A and B are shown apart, each in its own frame.
Chain A
Amino acid sequence: MIAAIHLSGDLQVWIGALLTLMVFSFLWRDNPFYKFAEHVFVGVSAAYWMVMGFWTTLWPALVLKLFPAAGRWSSPEAPVGAWDPVALIPAALGLLMLARLWPRLSWLGKWPTAFALGTTAGYSLVRYLRSDFLYQIQATIGAGLAPTAAGRWLWQESLAQLLVLAGTVSGLVYFVNTREQKGAYGRVARWGLLVLMITFGASFGSAVMGRVALLVGRFQELLGPWLGIL
């Protein structure tokens, strides 16, 4: 049950707790404390992402490939190899991206953007076709509509498979906008809409679960490490 309060002596915990309370103050109304916390978050997270991107990726994948001797600063005992001229290509593309900062040269920024779009399109086309299209169709009808186990017909599994098949097809029919949804076609589309409503309801229920867990986590941090009650 409720124990005595034992306030933390750790400055780190206090800073975290005070920032937490500043953000929660927004629930009453917008105020300077919340705005302060929000602006700190923007500045800190932007710099954190830049720092992590540089040291984890840019340094080993680009800087050390172009200037291997620089590796002595970060790993004095690691052997120094030869430089990789191929690394000039991503270096050039990266510098072209920065050209966006100058209006006259901003058109050069389209080249690295085009490379990024081409890479994304090239990788994702095949993967989406396989995983989100072919395998989904296979999972819907390929598993068989009369599963059995040890010679017994699993009627519940069969019914579930049939419902998934019917729901998927009717949902797809609902999304087709090029044909008027009336008659038998319209009834199938309506069934698809009802299936989608159940889907969105399940999504909402799950989303509530997710958000509440975050709230519980914050209160655990306040009541535990800060106030020492838990």
Chain B
Amino acid sequence: MKQRVPQIILSVTAVLLIISAFIARPEDGNAPYVQRMLAFADQEFATWFSILTVFAFLLGGLNLVATHLVKIRDRGPDRYYSLVTLVSFVIVLVVGMAKLGGPPGLQGDVTAPGSWLSTVFDAVLSPLHATLYSLLAFYIASASYRAFRARSLESTLLLASALVVLLGRIPAGRYLTAWIPEPVAFLRVEELSLWILRVPNTAGQRALMIGIALGVIALAVRMIAGLEKDPRSGGDGS
């Protein structure tokens, strides 16, 4: 029961959606019942999935609170940072759920101009988000210096391709090879970099894409057929 019901739900849902992809949406209410049912599944299951995603956000938030409360209770070394996380979480949750600072009451967009949530976004979330990701520029420069070596034919090709793309995508690169005459203009670094992206890169990416697509299809078929076992479930179905 504990394993069979979820498998039935998974298989029925997936099969309905696969069939609906091949059936035209009904033009009016006089279409056959099966056609209307498949259209309903195609339309509504996507919305239900979105609703479940929000419940997953809620689960994640509750998990975050529980984890940090345990750290504070156990007086771990980072308990003050856990307090910072919890306080930030609660403040933004209250500000956002009550739509403070925006139109009166609960009306309007939660991120309406002037709302406190918008202020938190502009002052805190946006700079932090952007800066954390911008650190990668420094680490990519450091990694390039330390690890990018032309030791073999493969690594030399990788290096050469990267250098051409790096130089070809900037104005300075254009000036470097602007002297190359028109009949062999395809040797200019900006033309070479575009050629690399449109020819060998496309070939390699296409091979990867086709391989991944076959993997996705195989996994979907295995899941629908019940051949994929959940590694977390024990023999008793718990």
Contacts and interface: CB of A to CB of B under 8 A. Distances in A.
Classify A-B as touching or not with yes or no (CB < 8 A).
yes
Name, among A46, A169, A170, A202, the residue most crowded by chain B CB atoms within 10 Å (CB to CB): A202
Interface string A30-47: 000001111111111111
Interface residues of B, number: 127
Contacts of A36: 81, 84
A119 B46 contact: yes
Given A97-B52, A163-B199, A164-B199, A114 B6 contact: yes
Interface string A2-38: 0000000001110111011001101100000001111
A146 interface: no
A123 B45 CA distance: 10
A209 B171 CA distance: 13
A128 interface: yes
Name, among A11, A27, A75, A218, the residue most crowded by chain B CB atoms within 10 Å (CB to CB): A218
Given A40-B85, A62-B51, A201 B160 contact: yes
A54 B84 contact: no
Interface in A208-229: 208-209, 211-212, 214-215, 217-218, 221
Contact of B153 (A47, A73, A194, A217): A194
A51 B117 contact: yes
A42 B119 CA distance: 17
Contacts of B62: 101
Nearest to B84: A39
A207 interface: yes
Contacts of A154: none
B6 to A, nearest CB: 4
A168 interface: yes
B131 A23 contact: yes
Contacts, number: 388
Chain A interface mostly: helix
Interface string B186-221: 100000010111111111111111111110110111
Contacts of A95: 55
A107 B124 CA distance: 39
Nearest to A109: B59
A201 B155 CA distance: 9
Contacts of B107: 73-76
B158 interface: yes
A208 B142 CA distance: 11
Contacts of B7: 114
Given A16-B127, A43-B85, A168 B13 contact: no
Interface in A161-184: 163-172, 174-175
A90 B203 CA distance: 43
Contacts of A149: none
Interface of B: 2, 5-7, 9-18, 21-22, 44-62, 64, 78, 81-82, 84-93, 96-97, 99, 105-108, 110-111, 117, 119-138, 140, 144, 153-155, 157-166, 169, 186, 193, 195-214, 216-217, 219-221, 223-224, 230, 237-238
Given A201-B160, A205-B163, 6 more contacts: A39-B81, A127-B21, A167-B202, A205-B193, A211-B136, A218-B131
21 contacts: A12-B122, A16-B126, A38-B132, A41-B124, A49-B57, A50-B93, A51-B96, A58-B54, A114-B10, A115-B49, A117-B223, A121-B14, A122-B15, A122-B17, A128-B216, A156-B186, A163-B200, A165-B203, A201-B196, A202-B197, A217-B130
